[in-house]
Amino acid sequence: MHVTKGDTVRVMRGDDKGKEGKVLQVYPKTGRIKVEGINIVKKHRKARTAEETSGIIEMAAPFHASNVMLLDSKTGKPTRVRNRVDKDGTKERIGVKSGEVISRAR
């Protein structure tokens, strides 16, 4: 998947097009992600204990990862990414047009 938890992304399609947020959760099996402040839905919640209150809460719902693009940390523009493995075994994500390293992982 081209995004990971903690990345800043911009929504490219859908009702929230143009909004930016931080990735909260990634579901690799289904290809979906949750982004902070994006795709907000209302959920009816029943009180589970005597102290809790029932009510309607707003929460971010997952949506498909293909609807977002990763933001380049240097330019702040959306970019496509590719992966490269260095000789020392470090995996890097690189912006396609700029060719600069966006993040590194082991």
Q: Are residues 66 and 77 in the same domain?
A: no
Of residues 95 and 37, more confidently modeled: 37
Q: Is the pLDDT assigned to residue 97 strictly greater than 90?
A: no
Q: Write down the pTM of the prediction.
A: 0.81
Predicted confidence band of residue 105 (pLDDT cuts 50, 70, 90) = low
Quick: pLDDT tens for 62-87: 999 999 999 987 888 898 988 888 88
44 and 93 belong to one structural domain:
no
Are both 3 and 47 inside the same structural domain?
yes
CA–CA dist 19, 9 (Å, integer): 9
Q: Are residues 61 and 83 in the same domain?
A: no
Domain that holds residue 44: 1-71
DSSP SS3 for 67 = helix
Q: For all residues of the chain together, what is the average pLDDT?
A: 89
- Rounded CA-CA distance 37/68 in Å is 14
13 and 47 inside one domain: yes
Name the domain count of the chain: 2
Hey, how many other C-beta atoms are within 10 angstroms of the C-beta on 71? 17
Residues 11 and 22 in one domain: yes
For 17, phi and psi rounded to 5 degrees?
-55, 130
Check whether residue 53 and residue 78 sit in a common domain. Answer: no
